[in-house]
Each structure stands twice: as C-alpha cells, then as structure tokens.
Amino acid sequence: MGSGWERAIIVGASSGIGAAVARELARQGCRHIGLVARRETELSQLAGEIGEGARIYAHDVTCYDQVPLLFQQICRDLGGLDLIIYAAGVMPRITAEEYAFEKDQSTIRVNVLGAVAWLNEAAQRFAVAQSGTIVGLSSVAGDRGRRGQPVYCASKAAFDTYLEGLRNRLGRLGVSVVTIKPGPVDTPMTQGLDKLPMLISADEAARQIVAAARRKTGGIAYVPAKWRPIMFVIRHIPSFLFRKMNI
C-alpha cells in the first residue's frame, strides 16, 4: 500500500471504529494486523473476516502492567510495526445531575491511561526506528468541556494534549502522530443516544481516518472534515456564553 504500512496494531479493535479501521487497513493491503481488545469472541469474528494476516490478543487496556510485554510479543508476531491506532474508549452514560467517580475513573483509565501505556511503548520504538505512525482516536468532545460529559470531554482533551506532546517530541525523528477527532459515528458507543448531528457510519469514518493517518506530517484531522470549521467556532465561543448554551 502507498503508505508502506505492512504491520499494524489496533487497540480497541473488537467493535465500532476500531473494527472498521481494521477492515479498512486490510482492504488497503496491510498484511499483518494485531487486533487488541477485551472481547475475544468479537476479535475472533473480526479476524475471521480479515483473514490470514490478523492476530488477536485479548487484553484489558487498564491492565497497564501487561502492556510492555504484550506490545513486544505483538511486534514479534507481526515481524515489526509500522502503525499503531489507539481506538479504545468508553463513554459511560451519566445523567445531567450525576457525579459518579467509578464511571469517571474508568473513563480516565481507558481513554487516557490506557492510551499512554500503549502509545508510550510505540513512541519509544518508533523513535529508535525513526519511522512509524501513531494514531489516536480522540473526539470533537475534547475541544470543549460540555455539561453532559465533563469527564469524557476532559479525557479526550487530555488525550489530545498528550498526542500533541508526542507529535512535538517525535516529529523531528520522522514519526508521524495523528490526532483523529471524529464527530458522532454510528457505533455501539453512540447507540441509544439522541441528538447526534451529522452522524456517519463506522466504515465511512474508518475510510477517512486511514486517509488522514497517511498524511506524513501528522497533525489533527476532524472526521468528517466539516467538523473542523464547526469546532473552530465552538472553541472560540466565550466561556460565559458557552455555559448558557445546551451543547
């Protein structure tokens, strides 16, 4: 394939955008894909769809201690690594009045700490190789602190800032770090939610994500791209106005 990706890891591959990205990469010729997620049954099914090049690894991203060994094992099994995509994420349902520390903690553990555990490993490796692509699936939700999901938004903002730091650290070494900010995507995470503007399918999101990740310079990509001007405006709404809006 044009990008030269032959070996990829997708963390959070069992469903939603992660699974769709795995299918898209395979379709575009990526020969060896390591699929990481908690749910082994779904992973097996996906691996069956993708074919011979897929390997599955049942893993809970909050088991941080397991990551270094598992990461090495996957790289060994794949015969190297060109691309890693962190697509694991949770968005627990909370009500407008709810403050649930357990849910919040889980959000931070999966969306931030799990990402750091996995992408730190990849970053060290790609820095040595002086090549490689890191893709983090963040969200438009990270651009503002919305009243409906304070911790989810905060987790995505933290992830964005972490990815920006990686980009600034690794860009000069030839490593591309891409932040993907999807708007609403039709996945199990969003099922049952109402008011989802400009909803796109997971397959369409995956196509756009892979295309954005191919840009060598890295950077931030909104999926679909029309979210960029929208979020530009939203980011610049003054706080005193934003708190009055039901966004």
Partner 1 sequence: MSAPNPLVLSSDAAERVPAPLREPVPLPADHLESVSAWGMSTRVLSHVYRPSTVQGIRHVFTLARERGVAVGLRGAGRSYGDASLLGENVSLDLTRMNRILDWDPQAGIIRAQPGVTIRQVWQCAIEDGWWPYVVPGTMFPTLGGCAAMNIHGKNNWKVGPIGDHIQEFEILLPTGDVRRCSRAENADLFHAAIGGFGVLGCFLSITLELKRVYSGLLHVEPIPVDNLTEMMRVFEERMEGADYLVGWIDCFAGGRETGRGLIHQANYLAPGEDPHPAQTLRVQNQELPDTLFGVFPKGLLWRFMKPFTNNVGMRAVNAAKYHLSRRHGGSGGGHTQSHAGFAFLLDYVPDWKRAYEPGGLIQYQSFIPAAQAHAVFTEQIALCQRRGLVPYLGVFKRHRPDPFLMTHSVDGYSFALDFKVTRANRKQVWGLAAEMDRLVIEAGGRFYFAKDSTLHPARLERYRDEERVRKFLALKRACDPENLLQTELYRRLFTEK
Positions touching partner 1 (CB under 8 A) are 4, 55-59, 68-77, 79-80, 121, 124-125, 128-130
Nearer to partner 1, 71 or 227 (CB): 71
**Cβ neighbours for 88, distance < 8 A, ≥ 6 positions apart:** 11, 12, 18, 37, 61, 110, 111, 114, 115
The least distance separating partner 1 from the CB of residue 59, rounded to whole angstroms, comes to 7
The least distance separating partner 1 from the CB of residue 122, rounded to whole angstroms, comes to 11
Nearer to partner 1, 55 or 181 (CB): 55
Cα separation, 199 vs 217, whole angstroms? 28
Q: What burial class does residue 234 get, using C-beta atoms within 10 Å of its C-beta: 0-12 exposed, 13-18 middle, 19+ buried?
A: middle
The least distance separating partner 1 from the CB of residue 40, rounded to whole angstroms, comes to 9
Element (H, E) at 185: strand 185-186
Nearer to partner 1, 130 or 201 (CB): 130
Q: Which one, of 165, 163, 194, lies nearest residue 179 by Cα?
A: 163
Nearer to partner 1, 26 or 70 (CB): 70
Cα separation, 18 vs 88, whole angstroms? 7
Rounded (10°) angle between helices 150-170 and 101-108: 20
Nearer to partner 1, 26 or 221 (CB): 26
The least distance separating partner 1 from the CB of residue 52, rounded to whole angstroms, comes to 11
Sign of CA pseudo-dihedral 208, 209, 212, 216? negative
Nearer to partner 1, 72 or 168 (CB): 72
Q: Which one, of 57, 58, 2, 11, lies nearest residue 30 by Cα?
A: 2
The least distance separating partner 1 from the CB of residue 78, rounded to whole angstroms, comes to 8
The least distance separating partner 1 from the CB of residue 210, rounded to whole angstroms, comes to 20
